[in-house]
A and B are shown apart, each in its own frame.
Chain A
Amino acid sequence: MPVHLHVHSAFSFQDGTSYPEGLVEQAAAMGYQALALTDHNNLCGAVRFVQAAASAGIRPILGVELTLECGHVLLPHQGMNQHAGSLAHRAGGEHLTLLAADPTGYSNLCRLISLAHDLGGRRTPALPRERLEEYSEGLIALSGCRRGEVPQLLLGQRPDEARQAAAWYARVFPGRFFLEVQRLYVPREQWLLQCLSEMGKAMGIPLAASVNVHYLRPSDMPVHDILTCARELVQVDEAHPARPFNAEQSLLSPKAFARRFRDMPQAVANTRAIASLCQTPALELTRPDVPVPVGFTGDPLQALRAEAYKGAARRYGRVTPAIRSRLEHELGIIARVGCASYFLVVQGIVRQAKSMGIRTSGRGSVVDSAVGHCLGISDIDPIRHNLLFERFMSPERSQMPDIDIDFPRDKRDELVTWVQKHYGPQHVGAVCTFSTFRARSALREIGKAMGLPAEELGVLARRLRAASADQIEGAMESQPQAVHLQSSAKRYTHLFEMCARVAGLPRMISTHLGGIVITSQPIHRYTPTQPSARGIARLTHFDKDDIEAVGLKIDLLSLPILGAVDNAGEACRYEDIPEEDPETIRQIRAGESIGTFELQSPAQRALHIKVQTSSKKDIIDSIALIRPGPVQGGMAENYVRRKLGLEPVTYIHPSLEPSLKHTYGIALFQEQVIEIACAAANFTPGEADILRKAMTSARSKGNMEKLRESFTAKALENGLTSDQAERIFTCISGFAGYGFTEGHARAFAEIAYRSAYLLRHHPAHYMAGLLNNQPMGMYPVNTLIAQARNRGVAILPLDVNRSQWFSTSTDDTLRVGLHLLKGLSRKTGERIAELAPYTSALHFCQQVRPAIHELQNLITAGAFESLHPNRRGLLWQADSLLEMASQGAQERLLDCTLADPHLEDFGDVEKMSLEYDLLGLTANCHLASQLRPRFDAMGLLTTQDLAWIPGGQKVRVGGLTVCPHTPPTRSGHRVLFFCLEDEFGMVDVTAFEDVYRASGYVAFSEPVLVVEGVLQKRNLGRTILARRVSPMPRTLSCHRASTPKMELRRPHIGSSAAR
């Protein structure tokens, strides 16, 4: 039985079409007893490969196709195929196949890969050949594909050097070096095989057969080809040496493998021999490696107990029997799971953050832990709020618990740097994530490779929001803004089919938002690492699921709102915000919460208006309610009706009342699912959590049926009827996958309330904080500015003499900061602020020496308005200014040149439009105020007028389009929501599916809209139920002609598709 020793999975990033699991499954089905995985320069698929192999019962051999620094560039006619010889391709380096025979070999493999990433560059890993000598132990080397050093030298007619190279490898890998013979039916192959054969015989180096697998079946070859085209940025009808020549690199069956190499039986037999050298598992996935906190000796559990009680005394003042009982209960489970060190490590990080003045906030299920609360990880008291610890951790769960902590975005890196320093760089890495092909990326990249115009693809991609790449056709049907482009022509049909084939395949590795891993063994025992784009912690090759199998994963997440609330800290300390401020609650109840954390979406605002929010508890519930699951399940509507007393609060069984009473009989939180399972079916909390988790992650029909049976059986034993058991199961299974934990909702609700308080009482400082932490939230900067203006804050424009890098504020003013200006580097921006004031533009240029585009953007955005009011005149002089500044010219020279009377300045509307384009906002007034004469001519109302118009009246309103979106709805219909904003405020617009399809879709492309519909008023809220949505007529749009950048062009895909 041969063994495939050279196999690429999709983790070769656009050079493989199958996930490791698929390869293993197929290999096992074909009867193979072992299989190797050798992706390009990474071990990203290693964990899932090992796990899949264990399930399939075959031996995994971990390896890599490593790129070595190029030593031998071929001449064009010597390449691998008719298109060969591209120097760029050759410059990619030489390949070597390496296989780990044992854990030492695996560790060396990790080190070599890491070195290749360090020495070759972040995107072009390549290892100097001589570095192999340091880490060759435990590794088996195959000479590689045609891009291997030995084949390259042979193809280059340099046989002596080829022999020398082979001898070198044989010396570095004594008894473990093989000449790799590949039969792929490409030109000059037979000759090369003959050379390798003869060389092997002459030098005593054994051969090893391979087919360099890149896909499962021959019919997958077009996918491999198109991915290669996308990777190499060529079109399908263009030649490129990296493109596959034919469809001969599939996973051959043992019989086909042997038949292909029937003239080289020993090379086939050697694959078996090599596999037998790899008997010891290279990577063992038994138990995560939990580090002990630095400087710590003794029993971690005792230390944790001491810390928990110390914290309890601080938090509660007196440790009551109830508190003691809860702590002991948790400590008992922590001891059984064996993760006391985990808590101590996290406590150390939080403590360090606090000592560095960094705000932290625990999120997720850790909020359910009293020990976590006492250690300072979370500020929510789980004992007071009766939060269930078993949602966070239980002895029945095999996995380590997950602790997530939020930090302000700009401080997170400081903390990660500290962790790295504290535990040592050899023990800390960043968790990676894999960017996969989704509708947008597939359309853009695959479409370009298939030769479709980039502009058309861009339009199409922009309009297909959040769709999967294998659902493009479905998305086209359900989204009118996409259907409107008549893209059903054959080329697009082919494109959509191809997109479906690449759906979900990984495109590249990138850094996970917050995950870091800490290991007690050096991290190279488990994974290679590579420099990350941000340059902080080194990036591991394992994603969040993989990493849990090897080490301690902690999510140190960025939460920009924490930075924003800090900004208001001088005016009002976050900790001093009163518990329940009536004015803040009233503001939330009125739906005036744009800019707050979590409460600003139209759905949230509408909910608070409906339920007449009167306390923090309503905020907590709302955070759990406005989620796709509860909304689609109709829970939000039921909740509102029950809260308002419009329908009775009922329970399927009386035993559910204690857990559901505080949410009006509706399950809102994950903890309630656990409590229901315990009450109704006598599960232990740990078992119930396993049930909840199974409902979340293993939702196949078969699995759900099994869970239903086991739940029903236990519920019947507990005295419920089968109807009650069935209804309860349906209720919790429908909800389990989507709900929040109550602890998490409480943690977020606390931040939400406090952000609303700051917005209500300190709008200038808080809004400046929001601007300084962009991008964040759902509204654009201009909307935040409009909100601040409507709250009485004077917005001060960008000014080189007054603006700082970040936006600044006083109690009633907000000065736009330089950070908002497109194209301005932070270095220049900070220099501008540091060297101000300036007496003239020339003085500015002499002092700051900006780049030309920076100067132009500053002028265009009005930053020199106080020095030189004529922006167009100054823009005209930008080049000369910089030239004069470099020559040390005097200011009067500039005054002469600027005095040109023929250079008329931009008009007011044009200035605003340009400013909007560069800053994302208009400081002096709202754009809609410039359109007001036109709106008036059309008889349109303002958002202010809607205050006095009674509900039920027909209205026509004009304004800017803000945040169009079509969230999932209970009915499954697409409903469009957006806001219409003018100089007086904002009104929410709802367009049901018929209106959305007929005219509403323009909201995704038109910046200014006219909405006709019926005004709906409920309590303090206003919504227009749209009947027609139309773009601002071009003939009436006075400034269109002069503001081309405000135009959104709409290329017509149909015309190209028909060609």
Chain B
Amino acid sequence: MVSPGGPGADVYSVVVYDHHQVIRDAIRPLVDDDHRLVLVGETGGGTTCLDYVRTARPDILIMAMAARDGGPDFARAVKLTCPATQILVLSTANRRRRRLMLDAGADDWVPKSGRVQPLLDGLDRAVERIAPRRP
């Protein structure tokens, strides 16, 4: 695992999966500005995303639930490939769909409202879940 952060600081790798380029473009600076995070991949395709997960084994996967191949089955596939990866769902879906995603292995969800704060909060919660497991 690459740790591009400063000495003594834990760095968490992130993959962004959203088939809308404009969204990925908007999320990238957010990750870049956070010293805890490092973007190891971004994609609009499910297969590529799984490749990233398999090869890069990211700490956090930010995925849009509405993305193609972005349903519960995809979440299960990610967890099978890399159980440690925290799945943060950017969701515009209704409660029931969100429930399905959580049941399939997703760890958290953030409304895809556009506001940055909920997404930052979601990333913080992910980091908090990962940190205790770090050696």
User: Does A pair with B?
Assistant: no
